[in-house]
Structure 1
Amino acid sequence: MIKVAINGFGRIGRLAFRAGIVADDIEIVAINAPDKTPAQLAYTVKYDSVHGRFQGTVEYDDNSITVNGKRVAVVGNRNPAELPWGELGVEYVLECTGAFLTTEKAQAHLDAGAQVVVLSGPSKDDTPMFVCGVNLDKYTPDIKVVSNASCTTNCLAPMAKALN
């Protein structure tokens, strides 16, 4: 089971959370959302205007939310280098703020103890971008910051590869 933290709880962060919290091989250990309380995060997990009501239990306390009996720490720090990724045992950080889209900026998550950072959008430098079904076979474990490219790229690249 891999341990994941989510930095940023907008649309992408929430959808990643909804998918990860019900997966058997993923443990979401923390959410960093500086401007949100656990009560607000619990509400946004439970009610989604596009995907509907979450089919499970959602509770919260002062420092966490608990979804389907799984406790997830809630932290609120704008500086990724100060996040408790090491003490929480975070292996992967899903960088979903849109603010840290270069390897240099994402390095702060690694400095805080994470092992790999996955950017949820296209990078603004030469950070490697990977698209499932297109070039995922090029990934090697020594790459510590990766980009998932853009939604447009994820939609069109598999077709372009097939046509090529």
Structure 2
Amino acid sequence: MNFPVRLAINGYGRIGRCVLRALQESGRGDYYQVVLVNEPSDLDSMAYLTRFDSTHGIFPGDVSAEDGHLRINGQKIRVTHADSPEAVDWRAEGVDYLLECSGQYGSREGLMRFVGAGCPRVLVSQPANSAQDVDATIVHGVNHESLHGGETIVSAASCTTNAIVPVLDLLDRAYGIRHALLTTLHSVMNDQPLIDGYHHRDLRRTRSAMQSIVPVSTGLAQGVERLLPNLAGKVQAKAIRVPIHNVSAIDMVLNLRENEGADAINALMRDATEIVPGLLDYSDNPHASIDFNHNPHSAIVDGSQTRTNGDGFANLFIWFDNEWGFANRMLDVLDCWVGKREQGGAAARR
């Protein structure tokens, strides 16, 4: 493959914009070039929301809109406003990888529409409907080495799965997990209204996002089991939306096979930060959620909140930026996928 790798983004909402910004802030400009963005909204709004972001601040570079293109730091990106994969001429831009960030496609049938329309490989910003709907579901730092480069559709899982699976994997390998109960405290999302309204079939989600703590359904337990099949039947999860704009947390209650104190568990977490740099972090400072806004790690273990009772029970608290951390993990998965494909091509040429 020739560099830079040509990328397209479908869906330019919170994750789509964070992915483009993360490409700029991470210094990957020599390796990737975004050549097309498909988003139903108008171009001027897209440029404005790229430049001015209430959560992550002003874009660290130049942003403008001109003649059907976004211009980012001097580079022109073609913009289309189609409502279906087939309505975009992806082939004309020579797209190598599509980053599907709209959240609207979870089945293989739906995702293959992009392939049929000219995107040879698709990286999805959400879990697929089932494991069989994608060629691989990847949590970077846990199973990214399983990529071989020949995949067509890959899922980067979810922000919560990326936050919790590396921690559960470490604890299960070290001590064995009998059971786990996970409670996600998640910042508000755009499927909630600002004021009460007819907004969702889940009646709780008809309530004002900024006035209440709102329990919602979650597929986190199934996502964990998809990545860590040895924990099948051992994990339960629930989720609660809380009225903040960004940064979420997971409260973990574990029944471990081995009795370990809080100090030993925290030492394991501290040491793990060196295994895959940039993936996990650890702190025992007295934190509030705002401290982790724009934090690129998948998870930050708050050692000040670790508790044990001597009977195999442990309680850990994990912070994560559900937007920025996940956007950076998508790019890590992309890096690995491209690298494995390059290795495969080199081997074939030999």
So what's the TM-score if we normalise by structure 1? 0.94
Partners of 2:148 and 2:96 in 1: CA distance:
16
Is there any run of 5+ residues in structure 2 with no aligned partner, and where?
174-350
User: 1:61 and 2:69 equivalent?
Assistant: no
- Deviation, 1:10, is 0.8
Instruction: Say which SS state the counterpart of residue 101 (structure 1) adopts.
Output: coil
Partners of 1:134 and 1:55 in 2: CA distance:
31
- Matches of residues 1-164 of structure 1 in structure 2 within 5 Å? 1-22=4-25, 23-24=28-29, 25-34=31-40, 36-126=41-131, 127=134, 128-163=136-171, 164=173
Listed one character per residue, the Cα deviations across residues 42-88 of structure 1 (whole Å, up to 9, x for unaligned) are: 10110001110012111111311101001000001111023111110
Partners of 2:12 and 2:151 in 1: CA distance:
25
Rg larger in structure: 2
Partners of 2:120 and 2:149 in 1: CA distance:
10
Q: Which residue of 1 aligns with 2:181?
A: none
Instruction: Say which SS state the counterpart of residue 141 (structure 1) adopts.
Output: coil
- Deviation, 1:8, is 0.4
- Deviation, 1:125, is 2.2
So what's the TM-score if we normalise by structure 2? 0.45
Is there any run of 5+ residues in structure 1 with no aligned partner, and where?
none
- Deviation, 1:21, is 3.9
Partners of 2:87 and 2:148 in 1: CA distance:
27
Native 8 Å contact 1:81 1:112 kept in 2: yes
- Deviation, 1:132, is 0.6
Listed one character per residue, the Cα deviations across residues 108-147 of structure 1 (whole Å, up to 9, x for unaligned) are: 1111111210110111122221011100111122210011
Native 8 Å contact 1:20 1:28 kept in 2: no
Instruction: Say which SS state the counterpart of residue 152 (structure 1) adopts.
Output: helix
Partners of 2:13 and 2:33 in 1: CA distance:
19
CA RMSD in angstroms comes to 1.2
Identify if the C-alpha distance between structure 1 residues 149 and 116 changes in structure 2 by more than 3 Å, giving closer, same or farther: same
Structure 1 segments (4+ residues) deviating >6 Å: none
- Deviation, 1:20, is 2.0
Native 8 Å contact 1:57 1:67 kept in 2: yes
Q: Which amino acid aligns with 2:21?
A: R
Identify if the C-alpha distance between structure 1 residues 76 and 37 changes in structure 2 by more than 3 Å, giving closer, same or farther: same
Q: Which has the higher contact order (CA 8 A, sep 6+)?
A: 1
Q: Which amino acid aligns with 1:82?
A: A
Instruction: Say which SS state the counterpart of residue 52 (structure 1) adopts.
Output: coil
Listed one character per residue, the Cα deviations across residues 15-39 of structure 1 (whole Å, up to 9, x for unaligned) are: 00111245221100111002x1211
Instruction: Say which SS state the counterpart of residue 39 (structure 1) adopts.
Output: helix
Partners of 2:91 and 2:117 in 1: CA distance:
6
Give the number of aligned pairs: 163
